[in-house]
Amino acid sequence: MMNLREGVRDSIGEWVEKYRRYSYELLGWRIDRWDWSLKNRLEKQLEKARIRASVGQYLGMSLLAIISIAIAIFLASSVTRSISDAIAYASLFVAASAFMLITFPGIKVRRRAKRIDDELPYAFGYMSALASSGMPPLGIFEALASERRIYREMGEEAAYIVRDMKVFGMDSISALTEAAKRSPSPTLSALLHTIVASLLAGSDLASILTEVSEQRLAERRLALRGFVDDMAIYSEFYVVLCILAPLFVLIMLPVTSAVNMLVGAQSEISRLMGSNTVFLLTIYVGVPLLTLFFLFGIEAVMPEDIRG
């Protein structure tokens, strides 16, 4: 079973690599040669999002896929629809895909920045403990990079710092400066610049990391306390939307049905409110959907360290 899974993974990897090369030879190299205003911005976003591709590779692969699917949509739609409808469907797909193509790196950058901000207090606490034991900067970042199962995004940033120091031969000051430039989190960038300035002024790395860790932990406690306060408001919304509102509907249904029978009301609203369909939809569809909507909303705003 494992051999089959590895074989499928290798086959997919080979196909993706061939597709990447073909798309770059067809479109990508031309895009890399163009000098346009958004190119530098997109290149920085790709680096911060950790999308390991040049602008030409990223746009070449994406544009080739968009063009191929748009042609398929046009051909499939032209069989059952008019040519104008087929063109409209294909154009709508191209417009939506182009929008996602441009905005996806920015979305990933913001997601990484949020995760980095969530991990900052704990990662810096770990680093300060290592620095207090006398470990050199390279060893500290190597240890943090090896703990990517716990510090996922901070471990990724640390791995790039280690690469700059070991492969490119940078010193710790230069590596931290480069890390501050490419970090998707403004908070981490500011902290790294602060550490660099403190090191240049002759401060001790352990004391700097300890101070930063304590400050970030205090700020994190305030943020988590604010989230707990917000949860009280969310719970009130849940009680109103998912408990009181369905109860009100369930109480009003038999009342409305009884009034219809007594006065002989024939309006569409009265018939609808008195029908068993609305009763069943409220119980089996309305309440579960409202509950799922609430749960997904809480999941979206819940901090990573609470979510676990």
Domain ranges of the chain: 1-103, 113-218, 226-306
The C-alpha atoms of residue 112 and residue 119 are separated, in whole angstroms, by 11
What does the buried/exposed string (b/e) look like for 93-115 if buried means 16 or more CB atoms within 10 Å of the residue's CB?
bbeebeeebeebbeebbeebbeb
Q: pLDDT at position 262, please?
A: 65
Percent of the chain with pLDDT over 90: 27
Confidence of residue 229 (pLDDT cuts 50, 70, 90): confident
Instruction: Output the pTM of the full model.
Output: 0.75
Least confident of 44-48, 226-230, 271-275, 276-280: 271-275
Average pLDDT over the chain, rounded to an integer: 84
Q: Is residue 180 over pLDDT 90? A: yes
SS3 of 12-50: HHHHHHHHHHHHHHHHHHHHHHCCCHHHHHHHHHHHHCC
Amino acid 301 reads V
Distances (CA, A) of 298 to 57, 112, 264: 37, 19, 45
Whether the Cβ atoms of residue 170 and residue 191 lie closer than 8 Å to each other: no
User: What are the start-end ranges of the H helices in 133-204?
Assistant: 137-145, 152-166, 172-182, 186-200
176 vs 255, more confident: 176
Whether the Cβ atoms of residue 135 and residue 144 lie closer than 8 Å to each other: no
pLDDT, average across residues 158-164: 94
Confidence of residue 243 (pLDDT cuts 50, 70, 90): confident
Distances (CA, A) of 102 to 22, 50, 68, 108: 21, 15, 18, 11
